[in-house]
Structure 1
Amino acid sequence: MRVAKQKLLIVEDDEGVQSQLEWAFGIYDVAVASDRKSALAAVRTHKPAVVTLDLGLPPDPDGATEGLAILREIMAISPETKVIVASGHGARESAQTAIATGAFDFYAKPIIIADLRLIVARAFHIHTLEAENLTTPRAAAAAAGIITGSAEMMEVLRTIDKVADAEATVMLLGASGTGKELLAKAIHTKSARRDKSFVAINCAAIPDTLIEAELFGHERGAFTGAIKSTVGKIELAAGGTLFLDEIGDVPAATQVKLLRFLQERVIERVGGRKVIPIDARVITATHQNLPRMMEEGQFREDLYFRIAEVIISVPTLAERDGDAVLLARHFLQRYRDAKRTKAKGFTPDALAAIAAWPWTGNVRELENRVKRATIMADDFMITAKDLDLDDAALPVARAQLRVAREQADRAAITGALAANNGNMSATARDLDISRPMLYDLMNAYGIPKG
């Protein structure tokens, strides 16, 4: 079955340049427009993945006002479209304005076809990756409520599928903000206990003097202020799942009572004498090094082996390749659905910043920054400044990201060449690009021909 060509829209009023670009990009399904009306009609009709846009269009052929107006309207209609703008020699300020408005990239006239081919190919590649991230990974992880496209997190989800119906205690190891409670809920939802309660408690958020009563409940008069009997979190989880977040913060005295519960599946309320049997699945989480805490006498070894029958390591956001941008789009869409923002997407500088940022606060930090940006954004496209990510160190991180992408492209080309014994036509077919495009890429990356 023949694969449909990717759609490219060329917005250019010079008929000679139109013909040149149509010929140069014959591997794509090319549509041409020469003014604002026809360009916007083509965007609505064809929904092109990539657009090349000459900023110098009538009635302002020597300026950029008409081109920038078209760019803004394309971004409003289709924010996922990658728009590559053309500006006259020395008109760098107009190109920078276009990038801030939402353009993917720019090139200067006169046109160098080989350079433009590279930019267009990269734009199609990024558009395809983003489209796949918004569909396949979301569908694959939908049952778990996890938004991901990374191999690292998908492996975590596969492990969750395996342990969900087991009665083994599960420990989730990961830094703060990585979504451990969401993963615990996913285990509960996929288990036979899904119709019963999921009860979560953050052990680090409760004072040592109160945590025992919170977990096990208390009888009336058990301590000052105990004016009535109260059911604890463990009892509330009967038949369902108990999630103990930050288990490493549980004090020593409470660790003893937790161990008894895990061994015998019974509890006693504080101040009570009655033994209460409880059937609850236990999931724990921590960011601490429990083996080291055991060596230092801060955590019971026998309790550790009871709660760590299955250990799942949760990757940081920085370790989840591509997930930062995917999650940012997800959070923005959530605010759009709630009609809490007019923003429709992220500018290229914002996407580059999101991809390059270290995210030491993980998913929680990302969500907070997107939420802030939806409030601070003055336009329908969120910028790196709106996200407060215009840090001086960011250009270095972006450069590192660009190098990584080029290394991936180079590896794909050299691998395809090796697999096809240097046959250029077969290599181009495997990479789904034309032979001229393959030659251009090999020249750009310094890959020898044969």
Structure 2
Amino acid sequence: MFDLVDVIKSKSSAEKEKEVLTTVLFHQTEECKQLIEEAYRFEDIAAPSVLENQDSLIQQYVREENIEIVIVELNKSKSVMDDMHRISHLLPNSASVIVIGSEDSISTIRNLKSLGYYYVFWPISKQELIDFVRNVNENRNKNSGLGKGRAAKKVCVWGAKGGVGASFITAALSMELSKDKNSSCLVVEHNFSGGNLDIFLAVSQFKKREVSRGALANSLDETYALSMTRKIHEMLHVLALESNDIADHEMKDYVRTISENLSGQYNFIVEDLSSSANSLSDLTYVGQQADVLVLVLEPTVSSLREAAFIQAKMEELGSTTRCITVLNHTMHERSATVTVKDVEKFLNRKLDVVCPYEPQLGKWVLEGKAIFQEKQAISSSLNTLTSLLLGEAIKPKRDSIFKRLFRGQ
């Protein structure tokens, strides 16, 4: 006998078992969009969210939703690697990323793999695509595959000497990355007995986490590591520790172990290496472990000599760490003992960023202003630094800081 109730129950059960792969597609062509939507429908998989491949849409969407798989179409791209480098900071490390492109190149596959991204060559059939997506999802469930190996970019901000503004640059860079560029950041403090990083980050009633010697013997996991950080806002955390009975070199090793455990949680780890707390072993660490070194100096002879030493040491180490030089005018340009030309000649390279002297800077910092958002010359310099770090094109300025500093010199 035909039982309508059984049929309805059976249908309801089937609907509950519908396969779900939480996916978002950022597409460039209607053809790719149509194929992926049809493939998901044909296999009765929950439809992916679909948006145009625009940086602003990627930036907005992936942080607001809990995404497991991100598909990025780059069939119209002139360089798949360049485009993925440009948007990598927008993608959460927790998501598996599949890139679809028309570049039939082993080097493209290899380079994307090194970044922790999968690559699919276009054109592709619907069945091949679904099989690939399911394989990626299976890897996620097993906690294996490329997504597992994607780690934060490590940026070390090094002060050529004390007082050149390394902590200020660290704070400004991490604030712009997290607030304006929507990239998750962990700021790591390497000063274990003071420092002003909390002031530059506009954090009130800041207290570093106390560490006892017994903690060094404990095993570290991601949960414990997260408990040692302080949340500034959703996209920015700080790791700042102190101890009364642990030597600085032991604390540095401990902090680096913690940050390594958190590497998969952030797009960037920005380390504040102010000169007063640095050593040659720190420089070796930067040369071997950092992706980017932001070398901050001021226009004085002593600062310039130290910067040249650091640059030479990096070359001696054979380091592949990318170096961005920042000349920070902590005094009025007229009081500088060396000029921009002097610095570039002595370092035998062009300066990447020049921060002009700003007499109101201290006041703005104490007022809690986000300097990178202000319409000031120093704000423009900070924006340039962030853009250089991200590989963004630098917009030419009608009256550049370089021209201003060269006048009368």
TM-score in same-fold range (> 0.5): no
Structure with the bigger RCO (C-alpha within 8 Å, sep 6+) is 2
Pick the structure with more strand per residue: 2
TM-score (norm 2): 0.32
Higher-Rg member (1/2): 1
